[in-house]
């Protein structure tokens, strides 16, 4: 071998050694698909450190958007956070992995009071993450004669300064509730009536909106918004004129659950993450950060007194009695899709 060749081989070996050192073995990755403003970044960092992994979070703004993406073939996700009725749909389509309870020693922390309301009471393929009470947010000093009622969406003096959720089950459900019907109704005549209510509201609102309403309410662009409880509480931190009310005709209660798709590249790490969220300290941290109650019984005593007394996070029994779980309506979901399409297309 010539001197030049020996020198070149030496250089190549050194470059290869440097490359291997810099990259090291690839870190395991956890891909989460969830709602926005739904995780505490510090907790994610803690998890990454403890498991020497990288967590990537993608967000959706409605169950239907998440579903459409998965059905279109998105397969890289390890952990999903849909609402229970959507979990049921994914389960029925055989898209979810049964959970391995041996890897989830913290499962017993789930509050039995809320677990009794869940669809998947055995936590066979999903674990409750949070509880949402769909509410009305409004600016206390700017809205005269506020009434905790769906009729606020008919107030023509607020025309153009109101938003409704861009969420089929929630908004048709609100129309049904305003008429005194179940928000899970599958009765054609009732759905027709609800459609007409929402079409009437549509004339009065600025838009159907699931994300921007938060900042819009905080900035005063919107005066009354249909919203998810925690999102409204989150923006209340920015503007304490924001008030939150639960309509007296009744409203929706829903769980968002953690579940693992069958196509998950890293189901073990997904189990680790679920178990991490179920640590009482982490669940309490999440409740106080995202403002949705994590139904984790031993976490409650770790919450501040103010949070424990909050009527939206811990609603009194008479309020809970007026709430209705967004249920699984099986194939009748097609009726809602049809009504929703008509609402979106209608004047």
Q: What is the binding site for ligand N2P (CB under 6 A)? A: 35-38, 83, 132, 228, 231, 254, 256
b/e map 79-92, b = 16+ CB within 10 Å:
bbbbbbbbbbbbbe
Provide, rounded to whole angstroms, the least separation between the CB of residue 131 and ligand N2P: 9
Provide, rounded to whole angstroms, the least separation between the CB of residue 246 and ligand N2P: 15
**How many other CB atoms sit within 10 Å of the CB of residue 148?**
17
CB nearer ligand N2P, residue 109 or residue 254: 254
Handedness of CA 330, 313, 315, 193 (dihedral sign): negative
CB nearer ligand N2P, residue 129 or residue 138: 129
CB nearer ligand N2P, residue 273 or residue 291: 291
CB nearer ligand N2P, residue 37 or residue 249: 37
> Measuring CA to CA, how many Å separate 341 from each of 184, 205, 336?
18, 17, 8
Provide, rounded to whole angstroms, the least separation between the CB of residue 279 and ligand N2P: 21
Handedness of CA 231, 80, 322, 165 (dihedral sign): positive
Q: Are 216 and 136 in contact (CB under 8 A)?
A: no
- Name the E strands within the chain: 29-35, 54-60, 79-80, 127-139, 162-164, 207-208, 224-228, 242-245, 251-258, 323-325
Provide, rounded to whole angstroms, the least separation between the CB of residue 227 and ligand N2P: 9
Provide, rounded to whole angstroms, the least separation between the CB of residue 254 and ligand N2P: 5
For the chain, helix (H) and strand (E) counts, in that order, are 14, 10
CB nearer ligand N2P, residue 153 or residue 213: 213
Provide, rounded to whole angstroms, the least separation between the CB of residue 238 and ligand N2P: 15
Provide, rounded to whole angstroms, the least separation between the CB of residue 127 and ligand N2P: 15
Q: What is the dihedral of CA 232, 233, 239, 242, to 10 degrees?
A: 60
CB nearer ligand N2P, residue 267 or residue 315: 315
CB nearer ligand N2P, residue 130 or residue 178: 130
**How many other CB atoms sit within 10 Å of the CB of residue 121?**
11
């Amino acid at each position: 071998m010539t001197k030049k060749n020996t020198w070149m081989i030496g250089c190549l070996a050194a470059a290869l050694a440097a490359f291997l050192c810099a990259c090291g073995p690839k870190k395991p990755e956890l891909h989460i698909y969830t709602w926005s403003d739904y995780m505490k970044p510090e907790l994610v960092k803690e998890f990454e450190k403890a498991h020497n992994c990288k967590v990537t979070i993608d967000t959706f703004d409605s169950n239907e958007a998440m579903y459409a993406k998965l059905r279109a073939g998105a397969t890289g996700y390890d952990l999903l956070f849909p609402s229970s009725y959507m979990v049921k749909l994914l389960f029925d389509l055989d898209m979810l992995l049964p959970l391995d309870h041996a890897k989830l020693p913290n499962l017993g922390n789930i509050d039995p009071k809320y677990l009794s309301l869940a669809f998947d009471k055995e936590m066979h393929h999903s674990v409750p993450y949070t509880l949402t009470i769909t509410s009305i947010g409004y600016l206390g000093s700017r809205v005269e004669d506020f009434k905790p009622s769906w009729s606020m969406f008919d107030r023509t003096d607020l025309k153009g300064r109101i938003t409704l959720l861009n969420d089929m089950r929630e908004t048709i459900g609100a129309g049904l509730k305003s008429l005194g019907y179940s928000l899970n109704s599958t009765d054609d005549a009732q759905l027709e009536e609800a459609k007409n209510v929402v079409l009437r509201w549509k004339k009065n609102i600025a838009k159907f909106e699931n994300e921007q309403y938060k900042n819009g309410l905080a900035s005063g662009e919107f005066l009354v918004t249909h919203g998810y409880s925690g999102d409204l509480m989150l923006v209340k931190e920015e503007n304490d004129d924001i008030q939150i009310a639960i309509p007296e005709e009744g409203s929706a209660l829903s769980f968002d659950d953690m579940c693992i798709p069958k196509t998950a590249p890293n189901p073990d790490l997904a189990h680790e993450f679920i178990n991490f969220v179920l640590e009482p300290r982490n669940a309490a941290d999440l409740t106080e950060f995202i403002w949705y109650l994590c139904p984790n019984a031993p976490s409650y005593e770790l919450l501040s007194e103010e949070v424990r007394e909050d009527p939206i996070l811990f609603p009194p029994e008479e309020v809970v009695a007026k709430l209705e779980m967004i249920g699984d309506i099986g194939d009748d979901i097609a009726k809602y899709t049809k009504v929703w399409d008509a609402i979106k297309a209608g004047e």
